[in-house]
Amino acid sequence: MYDLAIIGAGWAGFNAALRAKELGLAVCLIDSNQIGGTCLNYGCIPTKTLIACAKVFSLAKRSSNFGIELDNLRVNLAAIQEKKDKVIRQLAQGMQSRLSGADFIKSPAKIISTREIKVDGRIINAKFILIATGSRPIQLPELKFDGSTSLTINPEQGRRIDGKKIISSDEALALSEIPQSLLVIGGGVIGCEFASLFSILGAEVTIAEKMPLLLPAEDKDVARKIEVIFKKKGIKVVTGANVSILELENYSKVLVCVGRAPNIKGLGLEDLGIQLKNNWIAVDDYLKSSQDNIYAAGDCTGKLMLAHYAAYQGVMAVQNMFSGNRQKADNLVVPACIFTEPQIASVGVKEKDALACGCQINVRKFDFRASAMAQIIDETEGFVKIISNQETGQIIGASIVGPQATELIAVLAVAISGQLTVSEVGAMIFAHPTFSESLHETLKN
């Protein structure tokens, strides 16, 4: 009998397995697909690899601004895809190596009792079960995906499966040619990343969002700024969009990015009486489901759908099962990163939320046009915005749109976690010329 059986080898399940190994537990990891889940195979890693390649192309197109003359620039999408596949393959090998000592079972799984799981035609037993099955793209009833929506990943051969007209983010990652024109439906994180990526690579991009602003979950100043930047880059932005009247025939591809749904079909949850909340697995503050020895972590819980938060949940779930020191999985100082060009990142409280709860705040901003390093690398679009509690001076939230935003946000996450004040961070010395000194300059304003 295993101490722990984990269903789902994504970032939640993988990190849970590592923690179980550290505790000396007998653990198995079960997944019907390759190791790494959405993050490695369909999400974070492939998208950011493609975006990194597009960034190089973007810089090359601006090389004359740096006194460098380049001719005959072109995008070799096949070579870019090969690089992406290589990155996935190498990281998958590293993950497999780190799991040495844990059993990996490649098979669909069905929970048939609180201690039994059917896999690969047999039954395995475990004292505890962790469900970490992740999520999948949602399709609209009127815009069903007509491509291949169940890609099989072969790390040795890569994947080159093009969808037809209406595709999900999965197919978008595997295109063998850049669409001449692309309609992105959904102006959230995924939609904005793909709109930015394909625009850089040469597609004529339109992004349609039903809400009044792109990135509805982000700070309004950030949303307005990225819309302005997108338009400058030639991306057509349609907000308040009605999908039913969009003229799909005008586009080579239609990419639907309207959210994600949990991967829970076929797990047998209904037979076990495991409670759901809006179709997501309901868990308590300790990540326990309605069954005492079955926990859940990651996207399938419908909490913050970020890989790093899934990893945090996976580790916390294992600790709450076995360590004897139960702790609430309630750390909400979670940086959110969006890899558009320029990048976007945020952490802590948004200005609108602080004002809605009656909190007295100070808001400080710094424009990257005043940054020496931004001028040096010719990337001056964007700003830093930091929110502090007016009474205590503690930093409680921040948003950044601009160069290296996804790296800079870590400093502010540390400041919020450590309950540091504006004066305390302002008293620190930041190197010059760097992007990080922009945080210091923000706090001086």
Please state, in angstroms and as integers, the Cα–Cα distance from residue 159 to each residue in 46, 188, 205, following that order.
12, 26, 24
Q: Clarify whether 432 is annotated catalytic.
A: yes
The string of DSSP letters for 139-195 reads -BTTB---S--SPPP-TTT-------SEE-HHHHTT-SS--SEEEEE--SHHHHHHH
d(CA 173, CA 45): 11
d(CA 329, CA 320): 9
315 DSSP assignment? H
Q: Which two tokens stand for residue 216?
A: 């509805």
List the catalytic residue out of 432, 434, 436, 445: 432
Residue listed under structure tokens 């919020």: 416
d(CA 95, CA 6): 15
d(CA 258, CA 262): 14
Q: What are phi and psi of 175, to 5 degrees?
A: -60, 140
Task: State CA 240 to chain mean position distance.
Answer: 24
Please state, in angstroms and as integers, the Cα–Cα distance from residue 121 to each residue in 107, 235, 428, following that order.
9, 51, 60
3-state secondary structure of 236: strand
Closest CA to 209 of 159, 256, 252: 256
Q: Are 164 and 146 in contact (CB under 8 A)?
A: yes
Indicate which residues carry an active-site annotation.
Answer: 432
